[in-house]
Amino acid sequence: MKLIGYFRSSAAFRVRIALNLKGLAVEHASRHLRKGEQFSADYVALNPQKLVPALVLDSGEVLTQSMAILEYLEETHPEPPILPKVPADRARVRALALICAADIHPIQNLRVMSYLRQKFGQTEESAFAWSRHWIETGFEAYEATVKDDPRTGAFSHGDQPTMADLCLAPQVFNACRFKVDMERFPTIRRIHAACMAHPAFAAAEPSRQPDAEP
């Protein structure tokens, strides 16, 4: 398999963690999003969404959308699991994951920030404030959901990493770039620390990727 990503992409970061957790060695390739390499004809032919990541299977089939890729990896390589067994618990984990993957990240990714600056003439500071607003709104919901629930353990659900943590850790990384005050989210901070102490998360960290830049 080959993962086409970008070191700083939250969505690619999620998939890297899953591959590491499940012990899957894949070839890594990169598209430089800030240079617009996701718009090149050869990439668009692979992924008309012009987004990363894309996972190219050995069959040649191309999987897109990080959450669909995580589910695929879980179905084809179930050990160790990133979803619990009981359906209502699986729903809890997926809902936590989607707070980040649907209701934070898409609203404040590179293409949206570019629109704010180019079409609405917003300053860098006002685009940053936008980003912080959506991260904080999502993190308030995440914190409220995990803080007093007995199902929360060392990680967001129990004591092993799940899909929720795979989405949370990249979002916290991103929140730090946008100077979100993480003191407001003590449970998220605690879970994030547990994640980054885990070798599968640490090795997936953006600065440790071959395409990393300062």
Q: Kindly state whether residue 19 participates in binding its own copies, applying the rule CB under 8 A.
A: no
In the bound state with its own copies, the residue whose beta carbon lies nearer, of 106 and 158, is: 106
Q: Considering only residues 32, 50, 132, 190, which one is a binding residue for its own copies as defined by CB under 8 A?
A: 50
> How far apart are CB 202 and its own copies at their closest, in Å?
26
∠14-8-78 over CA atoms, to 5°?
15
Among 12, 82, 99, 200, binds its own copies (CB under 8 A): 99
102 binds its own copies (CB under 8 A): yes
Contact call for residue 202 and its own copies (CB under 8 A): no
> Would you count residue 64 as binding its own copies (CB under 8 A)?
yes
Site for its own copies in 126-165 (CB under 8 A): 126, 130, 133, 140-141, 144-145
Asked if residues 15 and 3 have their Cβ atoms less than 8 Å apart, the reply is yes
9 three-state secondary structure: coil
Rounded to whole angstroms, what are the CA distances from 170 to 44, 148, 209?
A: 25, 23, 14
Whether residue 53 is preceded by a cis peptide bond, meaning omega within 30 degrees of 0, is yes
Smallest distance from the beta carbon of 214 to its own copies, in angstroms? Answer: 29
Tokens representing 184 are 């407001």
207 part of the interface to its own copies, by CB under 8 A: no
* Look-up of token digits 């993190």: 139
**Phi, psi of 175, rounded to the nearest 5 degrees:** -60, -40
Distance, in Å, from the CA atom of 172 to the CA atom of 188, rounded to the nearest integer, reads 8
Length of the chain: 214
Q: Is 88 in the site for its own copies (CB under 8 A)?
A: yes
The reply on whether position 92 binds its own copies by CB under 8 A is yes
Q: Measure the CA–CA gap between 33 and 126, rounded to whole angstroms.
A: 22
Binder of its own copies out of 81, 106, 153, 158 (CB under 8 A): 106
- DSSP 8-state secondary structure symbol assigned to residue 158: B
| Of 190 and 205, CB closest to its own copies | 190
Which residues on adjacent β-strands are paired with residue 54?
4, 64
Pick the closer one to its own copies by CB: 86 or 210. 86
Q: 201 near 161, Cβ under 8 Å?
A: yes
Residues near its own copies, by CB under 8 A? 48-51, 57, 59, 61, 63-65, 67-69, 71-72, 75-76, 87-88, 90-92, 94-95, 97-99, 101-103, 106-107, 112, 115-116, 119-120, 122, 126, 130, 133, 140-141, 144-145
